Amino acid sequence: MNMKSKLALSLGLLAAPLALMAWSPEKAYVESYHMHTDAPVPTSVIMPEVSAKFAGAQVVLEFVVDPTGKPTSITSVTPGADAELVASVTAAVAQWKFSPAYVAGKPVARKVALPVNIVSFDSGSSFAVN
């Protein structure tokens, strides 16, 4: 039986890495996008569950964040990506919520490309980073 674990999204380059220790990975990821208005900003993320066998794999998802902040038309643009991995990551991203992009003060739909890299740590946990 493959061991499954929750994924944690990369937190990127944050100004205060010590603050990350006090937040959940989901909260830190959301906060890393604070103050962006020209692109959709995640306000709520759901961590996908994947098997450790996917360590080292990458999936790139493309989707549109509509003016209400909902991700739509989610597809994998990674040739040959494992269907199980794509399904798990897609199902999680479909539950994300965004603050939409704004143009001239009005929310607009915007296409997004989200790379997800699966990494494994010595403890056997698998995480997604982008």
pLDDT computed for residue 41 by the predictor: 86
pLDDT in tens, 21-44: 445 666 665 565 555 567 898 999
pLDDT computed for residue 61 by the predictor: 96
* Percentage of the residues of the chain whose pLDDT score is greater than 70: 63
SS3 state at 122 = coil
pLDDT computed for residue 47 by the predictor: 80
Once rounded to an integer, what is the mean pLDDT over residues 11-17? 32
- Nearest residue to 116 (alpha-carbon basis) of 29, 19, 28: 29
- Nearest residue to 33 (alpha-carbon basis) of 10, 54, 56: 10
Q: Is the pLDDT of residue 118 over 90?
A: no
pLDDT greater at residue 1 or residue 77: 77
Segments forming the whole domain that contains residue 101: 4-129
Q: What domain count does the chain have?
A: 1
Mean pLDDT of the chain: 75
Q: Is the pLDDT of residue 74 over 80?
A: yes
pLDDT computed for residue 90 by the predictor: 96
CATH code at 77?
Answer: 3.30.2420.10
Q: Is the pLDDT of residue 10 over 80?
A: no
SS3 state at 56 = coil
Q: Which two tokens stand for residue 53?
A: 């066998």
